[in-house]
Amino acid sequence: MKMKRCIVPSILLMFSLEAALLVAGRTSAADEVGAILLPSQGQEEAAMAAAKKRPRPWECCDSPTCTRSNPPTCRCGDEVDKCASTCKTCLPSRSRPSRRVCIDSYFGPFPPACTPSEAVAAGGN
User: Which domains, and CATH codes, for the chain?
Assistant: 64-111 (2.10.69.10)
Q: How many Cα atoms are found within 13 Å in the side-chain-facing hemisphere of 30?
A: 4
Query: Per-residue confidence at 17, pLDDT binned at 50, 70, 90?
Result: confident
Q: What is the pLDDT of residues 76-118, one digit of tens each?
A: 999 999 998 888 999 999 999 899 999 998 888 878 898 886 6
Give the list of residues 6+ apart from residue 45 with CB closer than 8 angstroms, or none: none
- The answer to whether the beta carbons of residues 90 and 83 sit under 8 Å apart is yes
d(CA 24, CA 10): 21
Lowest mean pLDDT among 45-49, 58-62, 86-90, 118-122: 118-122
What is the pTM assigned to this prediction?
A: 0.49
Cβ-in-10-Å burial (0-12, 13-18, 19+) of 58 comes to buried
